[in-house]
Amino acid sequence: MAERFGLDGYFLRKLAMLGASKGPEWFLRYTPPVIGLAAMALVPSARRAVVRNLRMAHGERATALEAVDVARTFGSYAASLAEALAAGSKNQVDFQSHSVDGKENMYAALEMGKGVVVASLHSGGWDVLGSLFADRVKTPFTIVMEPERDAGARRFHDELRERAGVKVAHAGDDPLAALPLLRDLKDKGIVALLCDRTPPGMKTFDVSLFDRPGKIPQGPFRLAQLSGAPVVPLFCARSGFRSYHVVVRPPIVVPRRATPEELDAAAQAVASAMTDFVRAYPTQWFHFASDG
């Protein structure tokens, strides 16, 4: 029951969807930050996770400055969620402005003809702009996600993503064991995996993350190794109402017979890209989990 009323639970998402899809535009524009502040107050575990994230990115800072960034993170999360939940309604988000830094990197990866493995993280608009980018190049887009604890929330949000043209695939510890991702890549599609959560039991690579020992999932690199698809670090940040900024880093080629050293180097390249992005946009990182 508690899961249904948590930050990622069905109850909160249903309320957000009703407001985002049925309410006037001013509601979509102005109420999410208030809802985000309420979530900050009501979910202390998520608040502690945000403090942890901010300190990983920038170290300990003045209490007032850190408090402002915690509040901004929850406000940004609620706003991004509301705009995603407006899909298929009268408030469908037609992006008023967006910018892409490094779009030539995605085009170069697609021109290889093997599909693309996107390595991303939970940030503002990641599940919205991925489909926008895919639409522009007429390429199928699949997001691989961990199963959520709240099954109702999972079904609810998956349906909304699919309305926006995003295929959702749920994975356990090893995405390759149960999902037809190789077929998606063979069809020259884009498969996106999120690399900022490593729950217990997940296979990982050791990397330097925020200048300290860290881990990221093996899945994207094993998938690239088997398919021949390049890995492209791609991240999104919400910059304003219906406005997003996308950062695309150069493609990383993982040889089919990659040595351990080559796999480690590929993983570190993604970890370094993640570090750079989060340090540039610390209040856009929505990693609320406490278990990795």
- For residue 96, what pLDDT is reported? 52
pLDDT 10s digits, 83-135: 877 766 666 666 555 788 998 999 999 999 999 999 999 998 876 655 556 56
Pairing of strands 190-194, 141-145: parallel
Evaluate whether 126 touches 244 at the Cβ level (below 8 Å).
Answer: no
pLDDT confidence band for 2 (50 / 70 / 90): very low
Higher pLDDT, 167 or 136: 167
Helices (H), the chain: 10-22, 25-30, 32-42, 44-58, 63-85, 103-110, 126-136, 151-163, 181-186, 219-227, 260-280
102-136 in b/e burial notation, b at 16+ Cβ within 10 A? Answer: beebbebbbeeebbbbbbbbbbbbbbbbbbbbbee
pLDDT 10s digits, 139-195: 788 888 776 665 666 666 666 666 666 777 777 645 555 457 888 898 899 999 999
Whether pLDDT at 9 is above 50: yes
Evaluate whether 100 touches 237 at the Cβ level (below 8 Å).
Answer: no
Whether pLDDT at 234 is above 90: yes
Sort 258 into a burial class: Cβ within 10 Å, 0-12 / 13-18 / 19+. Answer: middle
pLDDT confidence band for 42 (50 / 70 / 90): confident
Pairing of strands 243-248, 190-194: unpaired
The domain ranges of the chain are 2-85, 106-281
**How many CA atoms lie less than 13 Å away from 114 in the CB half-sphere?**
21
- Of 165, 132, 168, nearest to 148 by C-alpha is 168
- Of 196, 246, 193, 194, nearest to 53 by C-alpha is 196
Give residues with Cβ within 8 angstroms of 20, minimum separation 6.
27, 28, 82, 83, 85, 86, 89, 91
**The pair of three-digit structure tokens given for residue 252, joined into one six-digit string:** 């990383």
Higher pLDDT, 23 or 96: 23
